[in-house]
Amino acid sequence: MYDHEKMIAAVSEVLAMNDRGSYTQPAHGLYPHQWLWDSCFVAIGMRHLDVERAQTEILSLLRGQWQNGMLPNIIFRDDPQYRTDRSIWRSWLSPNAPSDVMTTGITQPPMLAEAVVQIGKKLKAPERRRWYRLVYPAIVAYHEWHYAERDPHQEGLVLQIHPWETGLDNTPPWMNEMHDHQLPFWISVIEKSRFDRVINLFRRDTHSVPIDQRFSTIEALCLFDIQRRLRRKNYDIERVLNRSIFAIEDLSYNCIFIRANELLREIAATIKTDVPEELDRNMKLSEKAIEHLWDEYSNQYYSRDFVTHRLLKIPTIATLLPLYAGSVSHTRAKELVSLLEDDEMFGPAYPVPSVPLNSEWFQSKLYWQGPSWVNMNWLIIDGLKRYGFNDHALALTESTLEMVERAGSYEYFDPITGEAAGAANFSWTAALALDLAKTR
Ligand code: GLC
């Protein structure tokens, strides 16, 4: 019905437009720097156009790797006009930060191994091995960092310290916790301080996107406050966790990490090496640990509070990501698929909504509180295929492509009408639509 060729030309143009030589900015104006998981998604699409350029995208991410193995969620552009962005974070306060590039002090979902393997699929065997050998040490260090710093009790689940680390910035369970922990403090700060100036700096987002499609100013201030507290502790995890505001074992993040571990094994096997013993043990633990996030009353997985182990029982798009993790039983996977089929939950005309339609949080154009996002669809499609739900995978692929073909490479889409929302010419939408069209 739809002319995929035309769409492929259009999305390729978006990627070319956002290409900054060695990396791709997520969107002109709003997101001018290099973002971690954005670049991974971009590389997954870019490999169909220029596999070498896709490799460069990944190598360029590795410039930002910290000495402790962390990959930051943003590597800042070295341009005087972005001095404020760099100095909000002051990554140089940490002895672990690289000295030649400026970054944030937090990470984002570990899509690196996936991007590396997807690129590998486009290479002949000897080149693939060379590629894997080149990036393997960085991926191992990155995964080891997760266990060393983000799983202090060796439970197999890794914790996040800022909503931005999940990539789903204003996802309801995190916003709910944030309001509970912080709002009263912030109301007084706003009253007393000159924070409106900071708000203006921080809210570049609402210059180009309608305010009702982004998080509230109070939420923005809270996010900034958490960032400032992390900075005050020089991004030193022991100090951060010592008196943490909140730390969450996020469901979507952990699902992506479990899959990334499996892909790391695949990389190691291809280059005939063994994953370091301790890492191997931890990885096995993670596959099982996801079951601690299962709630037998509502038959769903949830994120968990790191300290109290309380499940944060608000369903979101993360509910479906155990399909991508791939480590849950077929029976559980089937239960998740039934939620995807449910018209009142994840089954509107343009799925998959980032919170279910019947949630009190649902707003069709509000960022991660309703709209459909192409990266989430890509992850779910990939999981559906691996569990053998091929018809579901195909249906979701088609509706995703239709959404992009009709509305363009927007950041997110209204799941009921398919209307575009957020930033225009958004790189990962373009890249992943390209990948879906090419691998259908
Ligand atoms: C927004 C998204 C985040 C993404 C970033 C750059 O903050 O929530 O996931 O990485 O934009 O596109």
Contact 123, 54 (CB under 8 A): no
How close is the Cα of 18 to the center of ligand 1, in Å?
Answer: 15
Tell me the whole-structure pTM to 2 decimals. Answer: 0.96
Across the range 333-340, mean pLDDT stands at 98
- Using left for φ > 0, alpha for ψ between -120 and 50, and beta otherwise, residue 197 falls in alpha
* Atom 3 (ligand 1) nearest CA: 167
**Ligand 1 atom 4: residue of nearest CA:** 167
Q: Residues 341-368: pLDDT tens digits?
A: 999 999 999 999 999 999 999 999 999 9
For the segment 34-74, what is each residue's pLDDT rounded down to a tens digit?
999 999 999 999 999 999 999 999 999 999 999 999 999 99
SS3 31: strand
Instruction: Look at strands 300-301 and 294-295 and give their pairing.
Output: antiparallel
Check whether the bond before 374 is cis (ω within 30° of 0).
Answer: no
Q: Is 238 a catalytic residue?
A: no
The residues near 8 (Cβ < 8 Å, ≥ 6 apart) are 434, 437, 438
* Distance from Cα 165 to the centre of ligand 1, integer Å: 10
Average pLDDT of the chain, as a whole number:
94
CA 167 to ligand 1 center in whole angstroms:
6
Residue 163: per-residue pLDDT: 97
The verdict on whether 236 is a catalytic residue reads no
Q: Which fold is adopted by the domain 4-439? A: Glycosyltransferase (1.50.10)
Does 35 sit in the ligand 1 pocket, CB within 6 Å? yes
Does ligand 1 have an atom closer than 6 angstroms to the CB of 411? no
Check pLDDT > 70 for residue 199: no
- CB of 301 within 6 A of ligand 1: the answer is no
* pLDDT of amino acid 198: 61
69 lines ligand 1 (CB under 6 A): no
Cβ neighbours for 416, distance < 8 A, ≥ 6 positions apart: 348, 349, 350, 357, 364
Sign of CA dihedral 244, 249, 252, 257: positive
pLDDT score at 188: 53
Identify the active-site residue in 382, 411, 414, 435: 411
Q: From the alpha carbon of 427, which atom of ligand 1 is closest?
A: 12
Q: Is the dihedral of CA 51, 55, 56, 61 positive or negative?
A: positive
Q: Does the pLDDT of residue 4 top 90, yes or no?
A: no
Ligand 1 pocket: which of 25, 28, 35 to mutate (most atoms within 8 A of CB): 35
- Out of 114, 165, 169, 405, pick the active-site residue: 169
Count of CB atoms situated within 10 Å of the CB of 245:
17
Residue 308 has pLDDT above 70, yes or no: yes
* Ligand 1 midpoint to CA 104 (Å): 13
The yes-or-no verdict on residue 197 having pLDDT over 60 is no
Mean pLDDT, residues 294-305 taken together? 97
Q: What is the pLDDT of residue 332?
A: 97
Hey, where are the domains in the chain?
4-439
